[in-house]
Amino acid sequence: MIQVRSVSKSFGRVNAVSRVSFDVARGEVVGLLGANGAGKTTTIRMITGFLPPDTGSVAVEGFDTLRAGESARARVGYLPEAAPAYAEMSVEGYLDYRARLFSMKRGDRRGAVERSLTRCDLAAVRRRRVGQLSRGFRQRVGLAAAILHDPPALVLDEPTSALDPRQIREARALIRALAADKAVLVSSHILPEVEQTCDRVIIMAGGTVRVDAKPRDLIGSLREASPYVVEARGPADRVSKAAAAVAGVERTEVIGSAEGWTRIRLFGRSGQDLRAAIAAALTSEGMPIRELTREAPSLERVFLQLIESADGAPPPPAAAAGARPTGAAA
């Protein structure tokens, strides 16, 4: 549905995007992640037709954004991070205006507006001016405008920005429902939302795609390397020294101390479960344990590892494990 093939884009001497490739299939929600300056906004603008690629190609439902730009853009629903809308218009009037921009017939416009109002839970504010709405409601107006013409591809930039927890849950459900017959590309900095919503994540750094994989594969690759967290009775230096002496522990760091208890983090070799050995070492030194757990791996850890290696070094093996080749068909 969305095909990005070896696209590159430069602004003067700055290479914003370099040979980026990926697909988004119908029925799939794909998260596009990256720190500021990673190239994801430039990539989104090339997909939506706002910028032409210097090299490579972008197609939406088979229509090239350069050779058949109007047809390609008509097949994309785009929600920018700061959803644009005319503040003096009513919500209903703005959506009708957007429908006319897509050359919908009058009868079709009415049905499309009603469906968008219902799906984005905007019926109660349909006659209010957009400028009188909270930022969260304006974001929902932008989403309603993006799905108005029932496009086969959706590009959503921070779709849950400014929404409250209930609205975030509803937006997540709506995105999943829309993906039943659409290709959905979501850019977001809210990593737990991406983890719960997306079938795949594409992480960009330094203008290139560093990882294209399923969240569970990325997180699973880190499970055996997860650090341990221990809270034991005793001064920090004694607790750290006893834990560091355990075979397989590579390093320790003190998290904090309070009321005679010390909390430390231990990093061990992959493939080993050191909890029993850690417990035995500390208790044998007369330091009772109040907590001994292993940190749960998360998409945030993968993301941070890749961002920290964005100086040109290859992605960390744990983060790259399970990744699919960039540009592989979905």
- Sequence-ordered strand ranges (E) for the chain: 2-11, 14-24, 28-34, 55-60, 63-64, 76-79, 153-157, 183-187, 200-205, 208-213, 228-233, 249-258, 261-268, 289-294
pLDDT at 329: 37
Which of helix, strand or coil describes residue 293?
strand
Q: Token digits for 59?
A: 């197609």
Among 21-25, 58-62, 184-188, 272-276, which stretch is predicted with the lowest mean pLDDT?
A: 272-276
Residues 8-17 have pLDDT tens digits of 999 999 999 9
Environment class of 17 (CB within 10 Å of its CB; exposed 0-12, middle 13-18, buried 19+):
buried
pLDDT at 224: 60
CB-based contacts of 269, cutoff 8 Å, min separation 6: 248, 250
Q: The pTM is what? A: 0.78
Distance CA 59, CA 1 (A): 8
Give the neighbor-by-neighbor strand order of the sheet with 63-64: 14-24, 2-11, 55-60, 63-64
Residues 75-114 have pLDDT tens digits of 999 999 877 889 999 999 999 999 999 889 988 999 999 9
CA 254 to the chain's CA centroid: 31
Residues 134-179 have pLDDT tens digits of 888 998 999 999 999 999 999 999 888 778 888 888 888 889 998 9
